[in-house]
Structure 1
Amino acid sequence: MNRKTLITLKTLTWIACLSPFALLVYQAVTNTLGPDPTSTIALTTGYNALLMLILSLAITPLRLLSPRLSWLIKFRRLLGLFAFFYASIHLATYVALYLNFDMSVFKTDITKRRFIIAGFAAYTLLVPLAATSTTWAIRKLGGKRWNRLHKLVYFAAICGIIHYWWQVKPGVLSPMNLTITLFVLLLARPVLTWIHERKARTVYSRT
């Protein structure tokens, strides 16, 4: 892929990732967030945090499926950082608009409300990933340690999905699509890695 195409795709990715946030800002300015603006902001930011996190997890399986898709690796960090961006707004919405910065209520929620526990666990796991997303951090930690640390993304995604299910009312199936997608990705990665390594061993044994 040439540089011009890559820049174009990255620009389009930025636009796509920022679109939900831009829409929220527009709705806030025009007072069209609906009857429960706080809920709209929380649901939109939470959903997009999970969506972008899952999209970032899809990149490795896609690359394993076809070497032609190896260029997708250049977008994994960007998607991960946007996931953290929306997760941060989601958390800020909870602290500022639901709690009104009353940290005594937060202390109660974090120990007694299970969907808050799962959501905060997911965010806590994302913090070190976002903090070590730079090239400098990769060099400082070393490739192996950096890779081990960033496997926390799977636990963050699982906690995020649990948070989503525990937050919605019983019988509401809105988290189902993301749940199925995450399940497929979690299953696909080890299977595709095994197939890829087996093919590599077969080629090596023939040489």
Structure 2
Amino acid sequence: MDRRRKGLEAKDDFIQSMISKDGLPQEDRLTDLQIKDNCLALLIAGFATTGAALTWSVKFLEENPCAKERLMEEYKRIDEKKVGSKVTKLTWDDIHQMPYTTKVILETLRMSNPVQWSTRSVLQDFSLQGFTIRKDWILAIDHCGLHYDSDIFPNPTKFNPSRFDVDVGNKEVEHYDMWVWELIGIQMEDSQNEVYTNSD
């Protein structure tokens, strides 16, 4: 990174895009440690969890033929729109027109979240259900407990992508894309999942 920062070396890649912030005001620049953290987040969020999510999606879809059939119908509609088009592969626009695919991914991740818990630092004192939570405490968030809470997700052990047809309301819900959205690789992972689940 030192050679790149000095202008002795440059590549058209993710690291270079972060180093390009060196021209910004000091508070907007990224340190070497921040760049390394972002690279690690890209690998974890974008690749390491993808394999687990795809494996579980295959299992859940095979066990739930109605969901699999609805998923395939969605893909066929996208495919039919491409008849006679020069672009035959999935595009970003196609991916954003696959609401059921997104629900299958959300439900797969709800039931088999590869990241089972996470921690957050408390930034200021606050009260929650009669308890005082102090600044600088570390909170552990149990994603599995939330994902299988029947008050939030009725019949939580049933694979049901259609549960995401309706808003779950303002309950304290921690599903995959609500807590990990800031990770750089999440968009890449979702796209990989959607492309895979809609492949022949």
User: What is the TM-score when the length of structure 1 is the normalising length?
Assistant: 0.28
Task: Return the structure number with greater relative CO, CA threshold 8 A, min gap 6.
Answer: 2
Greater Cα radius of gyration, structure 1 or 2: 2
